Amino acid sequence: MSSFRRLSVLAITAAAATVISATGPAQADVQSLRGRGTVDVRLIGINDLHGNLEPPTGSSGRVIQPDGTTVDAGGAAFNATHIKNLQKEVKNSVLVGQGDLIGASPLVSALFHDEPTIEVLNKVGLQATAAGNHEFDEGYKELLRIQRGGCHPTDGCQFRDTYPGAHFPILGANVTSAKTGLPALPPFWVEIRDGMPIGFIGMPLKDVPVLVNPTGIKEIQFGDEVKAANKYANFLDAIGVKSIVLLVHQGDQVTSTGGGPNACNVATQNPGSYIAANVSPKIDAVFSGHSHQHYNCVVKDPAGNPRPFIEGLAFGRELSVVDLKIDRRTRDVIRGETKAENKIVTRTVTPDPDVQAIIDLAKQKVAPIAGRQLGTISEDIVKLQNAAGESPLGDLIADSQLAATQTTGNAVIALMNPGGVRKDLVYKSNKGEGDGVVTYEEAADVQPFGNILQTITLTGAQLKNVLEQQFTAKRTFVLQPSTGFTYSWSASAAFGSKISDIKLNGVAIDPNASYRVTANNFLVGGGDDFSEFTKGTALAGGPIDLDGFAAYLGTHPNQSAPKLDRITLLP
């Protein structure tokens, strides 16, 4: 039996065992425990690690404290030490994840399809995690391989001679087969501590199909988070699991960065808060992720009882700790005794040697590629967008994609999705490569997805529709344009009528004319809700986006940040 199927069976078996312990031959043992008070259990959660095995750099490696000062944080070896220290403080603990532990990773993990990160998570004893959207970056079948083990079907085993798979289940309570409607991932997991069963329901956000390449998830579908959570909370409750925790890869934005890791300054009407407040009263705590924010809130469930709702930044900078007190008689959490706190993963502790050894091996294997110089820059080129939504780094990447497909695809315009721009290009040397030098590793960290560039034909009218789809009631998602392509958008205009003055090299776009437009295969497939791209014709394939970016840097030495004059914001 494969490890993936074995994990699924074990989840059911563990849960069913609680029924036997309550009603079967072991009844006397359970009765002898009742009346003995309570069991303390510490839950330790990590979210949005994104394969950051080495300490993240820049602002991605700092935490803002309540007094406004910052502290350097993160790094898997430091994380492992903090986890061990937190576990030593209590007899019973469970280490869990809230998704995006892999995917959009730095080269040291991404080059090996995140197998080093899985090995680290195995080493620290992760017991279960929710799937996030980035767990599906390479498709559902690749996620199954990550779970089950086995060498990559194309690249083989490059990190170790074999890959045993994840020793923990990757949960997806709202992920089902498009053909049968049956679970496509294990929906829950049960851990038993000191005789008390604790159920963990895990799931990604329902919007995964608009966040990843749709061709890789054609065989599965993603349902409503609240409905799925309630379904399995009822099931767990029915089989005797009364202490239930939700691990959901959906969270909230915050209204300000002040207040530190344990403030509750979440914006109103956010999807994470909605889920936390509306899932079944049988769920005792909600661990969240996805938004890369930190907050520590208490929400009331539908029955009016309090429960924690918590998220701990991203990249391994914080651990979310929830201490539960479980009544032996009822097996349920005593809500009034629950304590929650986000703990900063400082770098002042001794890094865990076993985890550091895994990281060092990955660094050694990636070094010949990682340190190769691609080009040079004359200043920082950042991904931060201005008020119009335009970013210097986004523009630069769009320029590189246009250059990569002008000959092979006859492209005249390129558009880059901002979510695919993951890190800044920093002028200052950080690994001894020299100021202004851009290495392969730095470029790969900027664009870690390995998307393929594709060029399609769109009419001018369709091109306008693409731009209009940047703005919906749910989100504003401004695509980054290549040089020569300009337009304006109005903040006050109605959805569907925001775009005006579209020009290519100073000439107005003709609604009836045809234009060759380049984007990555994620966008061309309709990703990020840009369905208009799927209407393009005469598709021509191009290079991998990173290769195009590398080639452009090589032919444009001392590259400066492009001037932000391609998108104009109107009232």
Task: Determine the pLDDT at residue 359.
Answer: 98
Q: How big is the chain by its Cα radius of gyration, in Å?
A: 24
Task: Check pLDDT > 80 for residue 298.
Answer: yes
Q: Tell me: the pLDDT tens digits for 177-192?
A: 999 999 999 999 999 9
Pick from 52-66, 68-82, 339-353, 399-413: least confident: 52-66
Report the SS3 class of residue 294.
strand
Average pLDDT estimate for 384-409: 96
Whole-angstrom distance, CA of residue 45 vs CA of residue 125:
12
pLDDT at residue 378 above 60? yes
For the whole prediction, is pTM greater than 0.85?
no
What domains can you pick out in the chain, each with its CATH number?
Answer: 3-18+40-356 (3.60.21.10), 372-570 (3.90.780.10)
Distance CA 90, CA 137 (A): 37
pLDDT at 213: 83
Res 514 pLDDT > 90? yes
pLDDT band at 222; cut points 50, 70, 90: very high
* Structure confidence at residue 172 as a pLDDT band (50, 70, 90): very high
pLDDT value, residue 561: 97
Q: What percent of the chain has pLDDT over 90?
A: 78
* pLDDT score of 416 more than 70: yes
Q: What pLDDT does residue 554 have? A: 95
Q: Could you tell me the pLDDT band of residue 474, with boundaries at 50, 70 and 90?
A: confident
Strands (E) across 469-562 are located at 480-481, 485-490, 499-504, 507-508, 514-520, 537-544
Least confident of 10-14, 288-292, 462-466, 547-551: 10-14
**Residue range 427-453: mean pLDDT, rounded:** 90
What mean pLDDT comes out for the span 54-74?
89
Q: Hey, what's the torsion of the CAs at 287, 288, 289, 293, to 10 degrees?
A: -100
Q: Quick one: pLDDT at residue 524?
A: 87
Instruction: Give 142 or 255, the one with higher predicted confidence.
Output: 142
Above 60 in pLDDT, residue 548? yes
Q: What is the pLDDT of residue 45?
A: 98
Range of lowest pLDDT (77-86, 96-105, 109-118, 251-260): 251-260
Determine the pLDDT at residue 4: 45
Report which of residues 12 and 370 the model is more confident about.
370
Give the pLDDT band (50/70/90) at residue 22: very low
Residue type at position 86: L
Tens digits of per-residue pLDDT, 47-58? 999 999 999 877
**Does position 300 have pLDDT exceeding 70, yes or no?**
yes
Name the band, by pLDDT with cuts 50, 70 and 90, for residue 15: very low
Which of 543, 558, 514, 565 has its CA nearest to residue 403?
Answer: 543
Q: What share of the chain is helix, strand, coil (3-state, %, to 5)?
A: 30, 25, 40
- Span of 73-77, 357-361, 448-452 with lowest mean pLDDT: 448-452
Give the CB-side neighbour count of residue 315, counting CA atoms within 13 A. Answer: 23
In which band, very low, low, confident or very high, does the pLDDT at 408 lie, cut at 50, 70 and 90? confident
Q: Give the pLDDT of residue 21.
A: 36
Strand partners, 310: 287, 296
Give the model's pLDDT for residue 5: 41
Please, what is the average pLDDT of the chain?
91
Q: Quote the pLDDT of residue 9.
A: 43
Confidence category of residue 27, pLDDT binned at 50, 70, 90: very low
Banded pLDDT at 59 (limits 50, 70, 90): confident
In this prediction, residue 421 carries a pLDDT of 94
Please provide the size of the chain in residues: 571
Confidence grade of residue 259 (pLDDT, cut at 50, 70, 90):
confident
Tell me which of 58 and 446 has the higher pLDDT: 446
* pLDDT at 30 exceeding the cut of 50: no
The answer, yes or no, to whether residue 158 has pLDDT greater than 50, is yes
- Model confidence pLDDT, tens digit, residues 521-542: 889 888 888 999 989 998 888 8
Question: Is the confidence at residue 493, as pLDDT, over 70?
Answer: yes
Q: Which residues have CB under 8 Å from 173's CB, separation 6+? A: 183, 187, 188, 201, 202, 203, 228, 229, 231, 232
The full DSSP string for 77-111 is HHHHHHHHHHHHTSS-EEEEE-S-SSSS--HHHHT
Confidence of residue 440 (pLDDT cuts 50, 70, 90): very high
